[in-house]
Amino acid sequence: MSDRKNAQINILVVDDDRDIARAIEIYLKNEGYNVLLAYDGLQALNAAIKENLHLIIMDIMMPVLDGVQATMKIREEKNIPIIMLSAKSEDYDKITGLNVGADDYITKPFNPLELIARVKSQIRRYLNFGSIEKENIKGIYRTGGLVIDDTSKEVTLDGEAVQLTPTEYGILKLLVSNAGKVFPINQIYEKVWDEPAYSPENTVTVHIRRIREKIEIDPKNPRYLKVVWGLGYKAEKI
């Protein structure tokens, strides 16, 4: 029953009520979408940066970081469509949500058909808008001659395959998929390892060095993985 054409589309569902999140997940998977789950705004924000998302469905009332705040943060980074969910149908929520950068709004309890309709509408709008490149939907990231295919997990440099370890791949994907953006070392650690960074930040440095050895002609003068002194690393946007 699942559409093949939707198999590449990643939707993030964010709700602290796991039953609701799971229910939505079922509806969406039934339509053939690929679904990721998060249970608070912070997780959502991390996923938005790390994953190749095409739509976010987010509850407003959440612990840690509520839907409104999370939306604002995400908007600073990405331009993915966001549908807000709210238990109450109060105007205040709606207005806040939309002003803050949400693209649509659904009140709970919602009609599954309506949810799907709005999801499709947003996706159509997003994909047609040209705001996204065809490449992105396939999970392909690139800068200069460096190409990362996240579907096959293959990395090529000027057409030649590069062999990376899982950790190296994770770091490179994070940086290249957000090319130009500077990531502090501990943020890299947290996003790639998915656990709080205490102090072993040297680890990241060592990995960076190894990636450079594999993708840079002259690791001392990197073209792609650049350090921004005192701030972190970034993949040069070429």
Partner DNA sequence: CACCATCCTTAATAAATTCGTAATTTTTTT
Partner DNA sequence: AAAAAAATTACGAATTTATTAAGGATGGTG
CB of 184 to a copy of itself, least distance (A): 11
182 touching a copy of itself, by CB under 8 A: yes
165 touching DNA, by CB under 7 A: yes
173 touching DNA, by CB under 7 A: no
Rg over alpha carbons for the chain, rounded to the nearest Å, is 19
139 touching a copy of itself, by CB under 8 A: yes
How many Å apart are CA 126 and CA 142, to the nearest integer? 21
Return contacts of 44-49, CB within 8 angstroms, 24+ apart. Answer: 44/12, 44/14, 44/70, 44/74, 45/70, 45/73, 45/74, 46/190, 46/191, 47/12, 48/12, 48/74, 48/77, 48/78, 48/80, 49/77, 49/78, 49/174, 49/178, 49/191
Residue 180-219 contact track with DNA, rule CB under 7 A, x = bound? -----x-------x------xxxx-xxxxx--x------x
CB closer to a copy of itself, 198 vs 229: 229
Tell which positions 39-78 bind a copy of itself, by CB under 8 A.
75-76
152 touching DNA, by CB under 7 A: no
Window of 21-29, 35-43, 69-77, 165-173 that interacts with DNA by CB under 7 A: 165-173
Tell which positions 218-237 bind a copy of itself, by CB under 8 A.
228-231, 234, 237
The Cα-based distances of 87 to 58, 66, 109, 183, 204 in angstroms read 12, 13, 7, 36, 42
CB closer to a copy of itself, 157 vs 182: 182
- 170, two tokens: 């994770």
130 touching a copy of itself, by CB under 8 A: no
CB of 220 to DNA, least distance (A): 4
Select the residue interacting with DNA from 19, 76, 91, 160 (CB under 7 A): 91
* The Cα angle at residue 75 between residues 110 and 44, in degrees rounded to 5: 60
CB closer to a copy of itself, 90 vs 133: 133
214 touching a copy of itself, by CB under 8 A: no
How many Å apart are CA 212 and CA 91, to the nearest integer? 52
- For residue 129, what is the DSSP state? T
DSSP string, 130-170: SSS-HHHHTTEEEETTEEEETTTTEEEETTEEE---HHHHH
CB of 164 to a copy of itself, least distance (A): 9
Interface with a copy of itself (CB under 8 A): 75-76, 137-139, 151-153, 165-167, 169, 180-182, 228-231, 234, 237
